[in-house]
Amino acid sequence: MVDLAELLTDLDAESADLDRVVAGLPDEAWRRPTPAPGWTVAHQIAHLAWTDSVATLAATDREGFAAVLAEAARDSTGLVDRTAADGIGPDLLDRWRRGRRALQEALAGADPGAKLPWFGPPMSPAMTATGRLMETWAHGQDVADALGITRTPTARLRHVAYIGFRTLGHGFAAHGRPVPSESVRVELTAPDGELWTLGPADAANRVTGSALDFCLLVTQRRHRADLALKATGPVADEWLDVAQAFAGPPGAGREPGAGREPGAGREPEAGREPAK
């Protein structure tokens, strides 16, 4: 298990990579549509800024976070879109940067064994950091697609892959399907050629392929048909149709061949993060 300090270092690096992409953009590029319908590049960054702020509340002010939960319950389908739109403004980039620093400090100072509240099940500070990294990477992919940028995958994908593996049962349940009792082995080729493995070595059901493709699948940034992932066994095969690394109801994902076409997917519902 990766420790919290390493996770926070990787979260900071993932955020910094996305920051470098958007920092010098002209105004018109911030208004460019991304694959999430109705969302521009600015919406993507505003969403990250908002989610970082509520994650900081979860770590430092449980009453304040409870108020956000109550708001989400009153507006379960519109909160994400509304807060993203409301967050767009001339101070967006600075606000996102300040919020990232505040979250880093809050998680670094939290009790490692604590369970922090969230929109899904409570999470440890380490899993909260992992979830923030996953979402930063996934929304960064939307920004990259909007701008026509091909990102260089890094070893930080292992955190996204880990959440994708951990949420196997949730993917089935979210789609109203029985959660399988069979284990699945996942074998992924990392960006540097190393083999990453998850699950028991003797499992009959297996998923193999590149770590990047697996991460694109579980964050629903690409359709399965556009990825070179191999499933062996019925459970593994069905999983690749329902996988999602965020909590809540199933996302619509992307249509085949629509990886770079704005409007091809849908943003997950209000405040959804990885189910732990």
* Residue of 241, 250, 242, 243 lying closest to 268 (CA atoms): 250
- Residues 6 or more apart whose Cβ sits within 8 Å of residue 61: none
Q: Which helix (H) or strand (E) holds 63?
A: helix 62-74
Q: How confident is the model at residue 2 (pLDDT cuts 50, 70, 90)?
A: confident
| Tally of structural domains, the chain | 2
Residue 249, domain member (yes or no): no
Mean pLDDT of the chain: 91
Determine, yes or no, domain membership for 200.
yes
- Return the pLDDT at 1: 57
Regarding whether 115 and 22 lie in a shared domain, the answer is: yes
Distance CA 222, CA 12 (A): 25
Task: Please indicate, yes or no, whether residues 182 and 125 belong to a single structural domain of this protein.
Answer: no
Per-residue pLDDT reduced to its tens digit, 30-55: 999 999 999 999 999 999 999 999 99
Single pTM value for the model: 0.91
Report the SS3 class of residue 210: strand
268 pLDDT exceeds 60? no
One domain, residues 164 and 67: no
For residue 246, the model assigns a pLDDT of 85
pLDDT band at 19 (very low <50, low <70, confident <90, very high): very high
pLDDT at 119: 87
Q: Do 88 and 181 sit in the same domain of this protein? A: no
Both 59 and 122 in one domain: the answer is yes
Residues 173, 199 within the same domain: yes
Residues 103 and 17 in one domain: yes
pLDDT category, 63, cuts 50, 70, 90?
very high
**64 and 13 housed in the same domain:** yes
Read off the pLDDT of residues 191-248 as tens digits, 9 standing for 90 and up: 999 999 999 999 999 999 999 999 999 999 999 999 999 999 999 999 999 999 987 7
Closest CA to 134 of 162, 160, 169: 160
- Looking only at the bridges linking them, the beta strands covering 195-198 and 184-189 are antiparallel
**Domain identity same for 118 and 173:** no
CA atoms of 96 and 50, how far apart (whole Å)? 8
- Asked whether residue 29 carries a pLDDT value surpassing 90, the answer given is yes
Q: Is residue 56 part of a domain?
A: yes
Instruction: Tell me if 60 is assigned to some domain.
Output: yes
Within 10 angstroms of residue 226's Cβ, the number of other Cβ atoms is: 15
Q: What is the CATH number of the domain that holds 27?
A: 1.20.120.450
Rounded Cα gap, residues 76 and 270, in angstroms: 6
Same domain, 167 and 129: no
For residue 264, tell me if it sits in a domain.
no
Query: Of the residues 110, 139, 168, which one is the last residue of a structural domain?
Result: 139
User: Which pLDDT tens digit goes with each residue over 153-189?
Assistant: 999 999 999 999 999 999 999 999 999 999 999 999 9
Comparing 220 with 254, the larger pLDDT belongs to 220
Which residue pairs from 113-118 have beta carbons closer than 8 angstroms and sit at least 24 positions apart in sequence? 116/55, 116/58, 116/59, 117/58, 117/62, 117/65, 117/66, 117/69, 118/55, 118/58, 118/247, 118/273
Per residue in 96-122, pLDDT tens?
A: 999 999 999 999 999 999 999 998 889
* Residues 174 and 55 placed together within one structural domain of the fold: no
> For residue 263, is pLDDT > 60?
no
Q: Is 146 a member of any domain?
A: no
Alpha helices per DSSP H over 75-180: 79-86, 92-108, 125-147, 157-166, 168-174
* CA atoms within 13 Å, Cβ hemisphere of 7: 24
Q: 260 pLDDT exceeds 60?
A: no
Residue range of the domain that includes 230: 157-242
Same domain flag for 63 and 110? yes
